Amino acid sequence: MRFASKREAQRWQELCQLQAAGLIADLRRQVRFVFPIKTDTGRNVAYIADFTYLEDGRFVVEDSKGFETDVSRLKRALMRYFHHIEVRLTGRRRARKPP
């Protein structure tokens, strides 16, 4: 398998272990969610989640990010609005507050 980053590959291994232990189920990667919005070229706008799985009977959509971009923030907002799904972010470092 190919991953976009070492962080994403490591998180996949962690999730595989959680699934083997029975703590999560139906683990999938690179799941596409389409929004009812078209670009100026007529293509649908979509979000591709790093991982999806079931945890305690709840559907979880997760992204492993080193840092957020304006596009990733926008697509998370679109996921909330159109699909009523809160994307769980893992692996990101929090920005430190200036002294």
Quote the pLDDT of residue 57. 93
Are 79 and 61 in contact, with CB atoms under 8 Å apart?
yes
In a domain, 28, yes or no: yes
pLDDT digits (tens, 9 = 90+) for 11-69: 999 999 999 999 999 999 999 999 998 888 889 999 999 999 999 999 999 998 877 88
- Residue 77 resides in a domain: yes
Residue 86 lies in a domain: yes
State which residues form the domain around 39.
6-90
In which residue are the tokens 């909330």 written?
80
Sheet holding 58-64, edge to edge: 25-38, 44-55, 58-64, 88-90
In a domain, 97, yes or no: no
pTM above 0.85, yes or no: no
CATH of the domain at 82: 3.40.1350.10
User: Is the residue at 29 inside a domain?
Assistant: yes
Q: Total domain count for the chain?
A: 1
